[in-house]
Amino acid sequence: GATRLSALSSETTTGVKRNPNLAKLGAGYLFPEIGRRRREHQEKNPDAKIISLGIGDTTEPIPKVITDALQGAAAGLNTKEGYSGYGAEQGMGGLREKLADRFYGGLGIGSDEVFVSDGSKCDISRMLMLFGADTSIAVQDPAYPAYVDSSVIMGATGTLNEETSQYKNIVYMDCLKENGFFPDLSKVGKTDLIFFCNPNNPTGACASREQLQALVDFAKRNGSIIVYDAAYAIYIEDGSPKSIYEIEGADECCIETCSFSKYAGFTGVRLGWTVVPNKLKFSDGTPVNRDWNRIMTTCFNGASNIVQAGGLACVTDDGFDAMMGLVTYYKENCKLIRECFTEMGFEVYGGVNAPYVWVGFEGRPSWDVFAEILEKCDLVTTPGSGFGPSGEGFVRVSAFGNRADVEEAIMRLKDVYGK
């Protein structure tokens, strides 16, 4: 019976061709693959208490000042005065103003340049829709996989070279320990878009003011647009710029995207924003802001009104202080993880201005190291090669975890690697 069923299902097709761009994608998206391997390990070892310092998901409760606002907005929907239906696709006016003041005060960014969304990852995909398939792209290598995978799906790339694990028509900007994880721009070809995450996921590196000025100058010389992902900017502690708009000329060549995911623990709540300055223009003079507005009003119905009420609480003084409390907690985790690997004699990067520690395992294949740590320590990390070929030989260890779990993970690592 089963054979007949599978034969039937293989014969029953529609006449619709599969999108060839999806067929170009390499292995599964990184994080579901890690989840699959974790489940496999748990099935083989049902009693194992697996700790995850892998995907970079927040673990600590959202501060009460913020959840009170979420609850209040939800309860308000049950009243005549508190009910609201569709909102502006660009976000509540009050929230756009407060975001501009809180994160871009004194940088000349107006509320009409801030677009509220359900998170940066979604905005990155919509940006590729904005720019279209006929767009050349540069990414940091290693980098957050969504930039490359979204570009492939949109049709902006060629096929995957299995040997190099790189796609044709993408310029990979090597970010290696040898160059301090900042690309040598003199070796980077001209592209339309430059995806740049700072502080960087996965390396935890943070660019200096001089480096960011060089990047902006490079983009302006080439007529490029930088998509600047500032998802971890709130973790910066050494005085480096927290926004690209602190750099002269950035408002003429940069879009900045950010989110409350790693600020307020909104990974499941979903709220972000993207800044598209009015000065940013396409080659024909059309303001990018106008086209972005058209994309958002077409593809998006606005972030949840309940969630935006939570966002408004995040940018009050009390809410911001509470968010900084969460950030400090995760940064303390980071310090413990850094110290653990440093004491054991590993090469350790990141973990100061970012919630990720980038650990070198003497050039061993990242997936082998991932498997070994999972097998011997019941600990989930993220293989560096999952972020691109330049990540080979490293694993990313996330500081997003409960303190007791982080301390337990450190004990297990020391038992195995501290000899």
Task: Give residue-wise pLDDT tens across range 271-329.
Answer: 999 999 999 999 999 999 999 999 999 999 999 999 999 999 999 999 999 999 999 99
| Amino acid 4: pLDDT | 56
Residues near 372 by beta carbon (within 8 Å), at least 6 away in sequence: none
Pick out the chain residues at pLDDT < 70: 1-10, 27-28
| Rounded CA separation 164/214 (Å) | 28
Q: What is the strand order of the sheet 137-141 is part of?
A: 114-117, 272-275, 254-259, 225-229, 193-197, 137-141, 170-174
Helix (H) or strand (E) holding 151: helix 145-154
Residue with tokens 């950030």: 327
Model pTM score: 0.95
- pLDDT per residue as tens digits for the range 142-180: 999 999 999 999 999 999 998 888 999 999 999 999 999
What b/e string do you get for 236-265 counting C-beta neighbours within 10 Å, with b at 16 or more? beeebbbbbbebeebbebbbbbbbbbbbbb
Rg (CA), the chain: 22
Q: How many Cβ atoms sit within 10 Å of the Cβ of residue 32?
A: 10
| Rounded CA separation 381/30 (Å) | 12
| Amino acid 165: pLDDT | 87
| Amino acid 363: pLDDT | 83
Closest-CA residue to 353 (of 175, 232, 195): 232
| Rounded CA separation 41/363 (Å) | 24
| Amino acid 362: pLDDT | 87
| Amino acid 7: pLDDT | 55
Helix (H) or strand (E) holding 410: helix 403-417
Is 227 in a helix, a strand, or coil? strand
| Amino acid 55: pLDDT | 85
| Amino acid 3: pLDDT | 60
Phi first, then psi, for residue 210 (nearest 5°) are -65, -40
| Rounded CA separation 376/335 (Å) | 23
Q: Bridge partners of 397?
A: 357
| Amino acid 26: pLDDT | 79
Helix (H) or strand (E) holding 256: strand 254-259
Is 197 in a helix, a strand, or coil? strand
| Amino acid 2: pLDDT | 61
Residue 73: both structure tokens together: 């907005």
Residue 254: both structure tokens together: 């940069």
Amino acid at 411: M
Amino acid at 136: S
